[in-house]
Chain A
């Protein structure tokens, strides 16, 4: 019998809240973590960022009993995963539990700013992830998914497959990234960052904002799901076009969407939560892919106007908020959007909308020509 994959616990730690519920409520109320910075490190170009207060994380570590010489990135991962694991009630020290970490740059800030008591090797993603699995006393080698901006969706897909294989019963999937001068200067050099709050799918969009978030889902393999979220399927597809620009025809996103639509009950599809970075190319590409996939009339919503682009966390946090929205019969407003600015007029709105349906699709795309989509369904 095929094992079903159920999400049994979730957490989001961000400037908008320290658990999933408070994050959802903040976004529904239209709150945003974005703020303008005039400089950081050697960066002297202004930019907009959603930054996690380090003091809040240290205080949360104290409250959750997270002691030890950890970097900010590791504390961030732990603050989210400790809360989710506790909520799930699982024994995370079991060999039947797999830890998967989704990140793009992990502890890379150690290259510019070493930390006392933290070995240089922690810049290696596998070493940083091991600090987290070790905290829980888990005996397995953690897997790190490093697939640029689509990592958070890929990590959930890999967890789903590992659970379906029968080798594990639970997967703890954690995503986070620290927005250090390393990443910010890089995106600035690409001229991809806006000095104003981003405006996904808008006519006047000027580029993305970066953001900090840590998010966790605990997935379980079960024979039956009643009254819970099922991770139904997912797909990863490459544009095979360009390493830093999306395909003009939205090829990879289109193929990933078509793959998950095979399992989707169209009348139950509440919305597509898109990547919506607010760069000229990304949003245009997504509109083409959605149009080609026959989803032009399905409500579309993006969360970057509240959080910025949270990289390793994005696929996980945006999935979690989508679950809360579906249960609330709500399509969240796309923060920053005012006027249609893509060739194919997808159904995006600056207002909160009512929706029906028990399913949603999460879509992401990123550097390396990578695209990924997954389908979640609430089972009564």
Chain B
């Protein structure tokens, strides 16, 4: 019997799909993220404070968890079993550029903590952890380019921590406000046992992202 593929979301400035089903939209660029938020999420106003990297990662995670039917923990319910491991090449470059603008001129110097905090790429993992009440491992790794084999290796490594039952994993990049690329998937312990299979699944997601 053929093994069922992983659930996944692919998102960039002009394209969004869930398990290969294209989600119709009108806006492009940063406005696409807002449109997706309003049409599919709508109950998390913290979204509007986020930088582009976090918005892209957050929207991708929400669309994915809706698809997988993950039960949302609320109130005082928390879990350490769900980890978040994201990869990217640009890290927080978009936020870095935006923040740099605020300190460039002596006469127009206004460094803002609200912008500065997003100059760390792992903030997106924190945003997703807060939303989902996940107290598990959160990590952000930077690679030169998306590499399915390398990502599968490090994701399989993350399961060496026995508390980790599943990983929200993916790729998130943004170098400009209107320019972002992301894919996201949920990996369970048994999915990572076969690292070659996992790499194959990630490779498909990378291909879709690269071709859109």
Contacts and interface: CB of A to CB of B under 8 A. Distances in A.
Nearest to B132: A240
A297 to B, nearest CB: 26
Contact of A165 (B97, B103, B133, B153): B153
Contacts of A181: 103
Interface stretch (B3-11, B14-22, B138-146): B138-146
Interface string B121-133: 1110111011011
A213 to B, nearest CB: 19
Contacts of A296: none
B111 A189 contact: yes
B133 A240 contact: yes
B42 interface: no
Contact of A143 (B105, B106, B135, B143): B143
Interface string A158-176: 1001101101000000000
Given A104-B120, A124-B91, A368-B122, A240 B129 contact: yes
A240 B134 contact: yes
Contacts of B143: 126, 141, 143-144
A255 B117 contact: no
B163 A259 contact: yes
B8 to A, nearest CB: 23
Q: Select the residue from B113, B126, B129 with max chain A CB neighbours within 10 A.
A: B126
A367 B126 contact: yes
Nearest to B125: A368
B138 A144 contact: no
A326 interface: no
Interface string A229-244: 0000001111111111
Interface in A110-150: 111-112, 123-127, 129-130, 141, 143-148
A252 B129 CA distance: 12
A10 interface: no
Q: How large is the interface on A (under 10, 10 to 19, 20 to 34, 35 or more residues)?
A: 35 or more
Given A126-B144, A143-B141, A190-B116, A238 B93 contact: no
A123 B89 CA distance: 11
A111 B135 contact: no
Contacts of A167: 153
Contacts of A165: 153, 156-157, 160
A182 B103 contact: yes
B142 A125 contact: yes
Contacts of B93: 123-124
B117 A244 contact: yes
Contacts of A130: 144
Nearest to A242: B130
Interface residues of B, number: 55
Nearest to A191: B113
Contact of A237 (B106, B132, B135): B135
A75 interface: no
Given A144-B141, A368-B125, A189 B120 contact: no
Q: Select the residue from A112, A127, A146, A162 with max chain B CB neighbours within 10 A.
A: A146
Contacts of B105: 42
B130 A243 contact: yes
A237 B158 contact: no
Given A143-B141, A238-B135, A244-B117, A367 B99 contact: no
Q: Select the residue from B112, B123, B129, B147 with max chain A CB neighbours within 10 A.
A: B129
A141 B134 CA distance: 30
Contacts of B80: 237, 255
A182 to B, nearest CB: 7
Contact of A240 (B78, B123, B161): B78
Q: Select the residue from B91, B96, B142, B154 with max chain A CB neighbours within 10 A.
A: B142
B89 to A, nearest CB: 6
Interface in B6-54: none
B119 interface: yes
B150 interface: yes
A280 interface: no
Contacts of A251: 78, 135
Contact of A112 (B100, B109, B129): B100
A105 interface: yes
Nearest to A101: B142
B96 A108 contact: yes
A255 B130 contact: no
A154 interface: yes
Contacts of A164: 157, 160
A143 B147 CA distance: 11
B177 interface: no
Given A162-B157, A236-B138, 10 more contacts: A41-B103, A145-B140, A158-B141, A165-B153, A165-B156, A182-B103, A238-B136, A240-B135, A255-B80, A370-B126
6 contacts: A42-B103, A186-B113, A190-B117, A237-B80, A240-B132, A368-B122
Interface of A: 41-42, 104-105, 108, 111-112, 123-127, 129-130, 141, 143-148, 154, 158, 161-162, 164-165, 167, 181-182, 185-190, 235-244, 251-252, 255, 259, 366-370
Leading 4 A-B pairs by shortest Cβ distance: A368-B126, A186-B116, A126-B144, A144-B142
